[in-house]
């Protein structure tokens, strides 16, 4: 197997699922398929059939019987999904093609707004998209029923929709029974493009939903996951008018200070034409992270500008490192709570698992029910031993985990790329910062006054091979 595929295999192994498949050989360029087989089928009663198919693909690939890079790529991308599409308990819309393409609706970040922009508030950053574009991304699947505790806005992370991140969790399944209306916002291209654009969608969603939270005086709570955390922080930094609209923000394993895992992911991703913009931005030391964590003043995104609870896990394999006061999820002025400090036996809860973890939900609930950041002394620790079933819902995130991996590695236009559409979401360098960042003094250069029109996709090296 060629070196690039071996490298990609090791990136996935080390960056996403470090330590899980103990029998993978370090130089095996086909371990990717074994890894997926183990990840999704190891604990299932019907695992043997799919595992055998994976092993067959391993043999075909390792013996180079496919012969062409294009077929290797297609097998790596589609092969495992053929088995998954018939074995996972997917929802009715989730066909093989859906998993490959995710029913993606590509959002062209370089296009001109298709309608009037929202009204500008003095002191806030400028809007760049049509108001109708922001509105389309807000959803309240159960409706707004004017529940006594008001609206909770759910904000997803990198490479996932809000539905995928939260629908199989207590935040969607249980919170309504505890007096909350639940809404969510999606961001363009599954938050794989510029995080600054994603923050605009978050800021608008807050402004749109808060007046509808009648029983809480026009204030809402926010629960974010992964990249959703810094997106909320960016929104509260550069749209300060939203502060008065927020009761509290609970963030699950956010990449507030960036992550080291992308330092492994992006070099391998570059062989496919570049790295995904938001992955570059979440890298420790990126221009985005340097600006977000500026200590120039206490109004930067380095500080909790709204009442904030951070819940993170020591077993996080994506947002790294998570140790001590330098943990990647921590935020100055927030209530920073390590999951294992409340639930010591939750050592197996990783990044993908924390949205569905009941112990983490118990911590979040302490903040939501009391209208203030969670405090370890008041958290109901009985949630540490409760199960999803005991709360009345069922975890079903395997297919969503799969989408996360594929979107992060291959981007959101995978099927179209296989069909010889040669442009991807990847970029060779981090997106420029918006001018409002330099205007606040959080960066001295590298800003643009052109909105997101400077962004451009690049051509994959697989062009001509597929």
Grade residue 1 by pLDDT with cuts at 50, 70 and 90: very low
Q: Which of 8-17, 101-110, 228-237, 297-306 has the lowest mean pLDDT?
A: 8-17
Structure confidence at residue 409 as a pLDDT band (50, 70, 90): low
Give the pLDDT of residue 463.
41
What is the tens place of the pLDDT at every residue in 232-247? 999 999 999 999 999 9
CA distance 399 to 348: 19
Q: Cα–Cα distance between 215 and 150 in angstroms, integer?
A: 6
- Confidence at residue 455, expressed as pLDDT on a 0 to 100 scale: 61
What would the pLDDT profile of 241-284 be if each residue is shown by its tens digit? 999 999 999 999 999 999 998 777 777 666 656 788 999 999 99
The SS3 assignment for 185 reads strand
Average pLDDT of the chain, as a whole number:
77
- What is d(CA 3, CA 335) in angstroms, rounded to the nearest whole number? 44
Complete domains list, the chain, with CATH: 3-87 (no CATH), 131-396 (3.40.50.1820)
- 193, 258, 397, 27 alpha-carbon torsion, rounded to 10°: 100
CA–CA dist 131, 286 (Å, integer): 30
- For residues 191-198, average pLDDT: 95
Mean of pLDDT values over 86-114:
52
The pLDDT value given to residue 68: 32
């Amino acid at each position: 197997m060629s070196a690039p595929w071996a490298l990609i295999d090791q990136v996935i192994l080390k960056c996403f699922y470090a330590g899980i498949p103990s029998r993978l050989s370090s130089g095996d360029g086909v371990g990717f398929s074994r890894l997926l087989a183990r990840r999704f089928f190891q604990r299932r009663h019907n695992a043997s059939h799919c595992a055998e198919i994976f092993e067959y693909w391993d043999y075909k690939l390792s013996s180079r019987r496919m012969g062409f890079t294009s077929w290797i790529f297609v097998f790596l991308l589609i092969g495992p999904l053929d088995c998954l599409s018939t074995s996972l308990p997917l929802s009715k819309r989730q066909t093989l093609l859906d998993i490959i393409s995710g029913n993606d609706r590509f959002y062209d970040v370089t296009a001109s707004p298709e309608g009037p922009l929202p009204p500008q508030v003095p002191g806030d950053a400028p809007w760049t998209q049509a108001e109708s574009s922001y509105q389309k991304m807000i959803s309240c699947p159960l409706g707004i029923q004017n529940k006594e505790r008001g609206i909770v806005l759910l904000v997803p992370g990198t490479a996932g929709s809000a539905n995928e991140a939260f629908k199989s969790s207590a935040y969607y399944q249980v919170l309504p029974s505890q007096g909350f209306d639940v809404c969510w916002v999606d961001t363009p291209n599954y938050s794989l493009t510029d995080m600054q654009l994603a923050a605009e969608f978050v800021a608008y969603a807050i402004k749109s939903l808060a007046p509808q939270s009648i029983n809480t005086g026009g204030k809402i709570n926010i629960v974010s996951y992964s990249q959703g955390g810094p997106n909320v922080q960016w929104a509260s930094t550069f749209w300060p008018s939203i502060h008065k609209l927020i009761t509290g923000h609970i963030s699950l394993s956010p990449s507030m200070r960036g992550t080291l895992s992308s330092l492994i992911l992006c070099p391998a991703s570059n062989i496919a034409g570049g790295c995904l913009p938001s992955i570059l931005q979440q890298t420790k030391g990126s221009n985005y992270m340097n600006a977000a964590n500026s200590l120039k003043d206490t109004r930067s995104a380095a500080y909790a500008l709204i009442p904030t609870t951070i819940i993170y896990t020591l077993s996080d394999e994506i947002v790294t490192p998570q140790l001590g006061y330098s943990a990647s999820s921590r935020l100055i002025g927030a209530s920073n709570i390590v999951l294992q400090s409340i639930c010591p036996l939750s050592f197996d809860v990783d990044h993908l698992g924390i949205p569905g973890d009941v112990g983490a939900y118990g911590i979040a609930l302490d903040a939501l029910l009391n209208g203030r950041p969670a405090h370890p002394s008041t958290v109901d620790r009985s949630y540490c031993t409760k199960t999803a079933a005991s709360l009345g819902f069922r975890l079903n995130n395997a297919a969503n985990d799969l989408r996360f991996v594929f979107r992060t590695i291959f981007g959101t236009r995978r099927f179209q790329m296989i069909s010889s559409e040669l442009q991807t979401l990847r970029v060779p360098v981090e997106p420029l910062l918006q001018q409002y960042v330099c205007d606040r003094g959080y960066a001295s250069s590298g800003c643009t006054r052109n909105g997101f029109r400077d962004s451009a996709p690049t051509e994959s090296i697989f062009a001509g091979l597929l």
